[in-house]
């Protein structure tokens, strides 16, 4: 994987929290920041996928792919969020057709 540098400015309070995280996880600063960023982006992808599914902008399979999850893991996320994604028969039929094609 190719890497790139990133320079950021943090508030003093956020830097203190970062230092606490670094100490508790026993990580160097770069690794800690990468870990936090990856975790946040994963959570964002999953939340956004559920939101797009509930708005009918993505099919179930497309939303699972967007989230970076297999369909069963994504189904669990949808269940946990209490999102109703099957709004009518047509939505379900389209999802099934896309899954089978």
Residue 44 pLDDT level (bands cut at 50, 70, 90) = very high
Pairwise CA distance, residues 64 & 77, whole Å: 10
- pLDDT over 80 (residue 35): yes
Q: What is the pLDDT of residues 49-63, one digit of tens each?
A: 999 999 989 988 999
The count of residues in the chain is 101
**Domain definitions of the chain by residue range:** 12-100
Give the DSSP letter of residue 69.
-
Confidence at residue 59, expressed as pLDDT on a 0 to 100 scale: 87
3-class DSSP state of 84 = coil
**Which of the pair, 10 or 85, is modelled with greater confidence?**
10
Task: Give the model confidence (pLDDT) of 1-21 as tens digits.
Answer: 898 998 999 999 999 999 999
């Amino acid at each position: 994987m190719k890497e790139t540098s990133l320079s950021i400015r943090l508030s003093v309070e956020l830097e203190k929290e970062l230092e606490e995280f670094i100490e508790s996880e026993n990580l160097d600063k770069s690794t800690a920041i990468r870990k936090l960023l990856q975790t946040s982006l994963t959570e964002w992808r999953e939340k956004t996928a559920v939101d797009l599914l509930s708005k009918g902008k993505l099919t179930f399979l497309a939303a699972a792919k967007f989230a970076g999850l297999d369909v069963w893991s994504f189904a669990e996320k949808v269940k946990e969020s209490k999102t109703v994604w099957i709004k009518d028969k047509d939505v379900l039929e389209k999802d099934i057709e896309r899954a089978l094609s």
